Amino acid sequence: MSEKKKFHLEYEIKSSPRILYGFLSEANGLTQWFADRVSVKDQVYTFVWDDEEQQAKLLSAKENKVVRFHWLDDDPQCYFEMEIMQDELTNDVALGVTDFATEDTIAERKLIWNNQIDYLISVLGA
């Protein structure tokens, strides 16, 4: 099995951190852009795409700042994180995404994130 590498992406998003956080942390928010269906029980999020189910545990969350998940079927050190960053001078909001992928799937993972975040931006009307 090849080793997974951490990668980081950043997106400019015209939204308040408070509104954006709901789309990153709440089942109904995530359903609007990240997965077809999302349910939460005891910090475990069940994401469904085309009847394929994947579960992730919420490792940490800071309101209006960051959420970090771990896919239950993934390597223990791997996670994916969505961090809301706000520039103190301009108040511009950016979304930072940290994820892990193997060398041969990293481009594909980045493309998936780009598409998902584009969709999120359209949902936000940003």
pLDDT at 2: 77
Around Cβ 58, how many Cβ atoms within 10 Å?
15
The CATH number that applies at residue 34 is 3.30.530.20
Question: Which of 110, 97, 116 is closest to 30 using CA atoms?
Answer: 116
Q: What is the pLDDT of residues 30-43, one digit of tens each?
A: 999 999 999 999 99
Q: How many domains does the chain have?
A: 1
At residue 106, φ and ψ (nearest 5 deg) are -60, -45
Domain extent, residue 16, equals 4-124
pLDDT of 100: 97
**Which strands sit side by side in the sheet containing 93-102, from one edge to the other?**
4-12, 93-102, 80-86, 66-71, 52-62, 44-49, 37-41
| pLDDT mean for each 10 residues of the chain (126 residues) | 91 96 97 97 96 97 98 95 96 97 96 97 90
- Give the Å distances, CA to CA, from 112 to 19, 44, 62, 97: 23, 22, 25, 12
Rounded Cα distance, 98 and 9, in Å = 7
Write down the pTM of the prediction. Answer: 0.94
pLDDT at res. 1? 61
- Which amino acid does the sequence have at 79? Y
